[in-house]
Amino acid sequence: MYEIDTSMPVMVSGATGYVAGWIVKELLDAGVTVHAAVRDPDLAEKLQYLNALAEAAPGAIRYFRADLMEPGSYHEAMAGCGIVFHTASPFTTRVKDPQKELLDPALLGTRNVLGEADRTESVRRVVLTSSCAAIYADAADCAAAPGGVLTEEVWNTTASLGYQPYSLSKTRAEQEAWMIAEAQSRWDLVTINPALVLGPAIGGKPTSDSFDIMRQVGDGTFKSGVPRFGLGVVDVRDVARAHIAAAYTPGAEGRHIICERGTDLHEMVRALRDPFGRDYPIPERVLPKWLVWLVAPMVGLKRRFVARNADWPWRADNSKSVRELGMTYRPMEESIQDMFQYMIDTGYFKKA
């Protein structure tokens, strides 16, 4: 469906990130020269996993210092690049100041990276790592979508700084990206909107919230049970492939929901019981919604979140990604089991 052009370098912002690592691997394996934009190119420990990928691949990697909050800091990294992958954006819900820790970096980073693309004549396409969080805030929003199913036409309208600020940051950042892209005609924008990303990292211990959820599954935090919070899931390796397809498929355009299926937290965790339940306290019980709602403030959850996510089915249409990007998806069971085994191997938790 597409051919990877190795004649021009590409830039990857946030190159040491969870999703970005797999994008870099795909590019290096194809023989592409990657301009990796990172906050500190002198931190050898942070770059060791990317260096190992480069040593085993025909492609090459070069590091450039860049900061989401500094205008002009992507100039050197982007010079001569044909494609820009903008992946850098915080993925965490554990913040004290949502404006400073989530919204500002997401918005200013988008303006800085895409503004630099405007000034860099060689750039012809920008692939933005957005999220399904830019489409919905709660599983209950699926029911309000046309036909009860999320599509690329839907935008998140229920998140705010006081409620689901991460979702607000992804929504505002993607909207800003489309506004910047539509104000010019030299380069085009394609966005990737993944559901909850599962699967192994290329190395280290990512700070992504999906790893925090899995840590609590394995360390006994959830041993009394988990609620049926509706969500969508996708493998990180498939998310990376979607980025590559979005970059090099000539006719790729617009937004793309990237998910393997809709599920819920209990069903997701259940896939870990057979391979790991003997050695780790994998939760078995379903916690009833009324109980979770009752104790929510004591465990750091908003009751509104429980009301709008527990026992709500999550439904989204991934057919555009299949049709236009040629996507096929690993089953959730493989993704979550590979992720859990990776976490065991890298010491996230000890056996019970």
Just list the catalytic residues. Answer: 170
Q: Which two tokens stand for residue 82?
A: 């044909």
DSSP H or E run through 258: strand 254-258
171/177 Cα distance (integer angstroms)? 10
The angle at the Cα of 19, spanning 260 to 5, to the nearest 5 degrees, equals: 95
The angle at the Cα of 258, spanning 349 to 188, to the nearest 5 degrees, equals: 125
Residue position matching structure tokens 């924008």: 189
Terminal alpha carbon distance of the chain: 47
51/218 Cα distance (integer angstroms)? 30
Question: What 3-state class would DSSP assign to 29?
Answer: helix
b/e map 108-121, b = 16+ CB within 10 Å: bbbbbbbebbeebe
The DSSP bridge pattern shows strands 254-258 and 261-264 to be unpaired
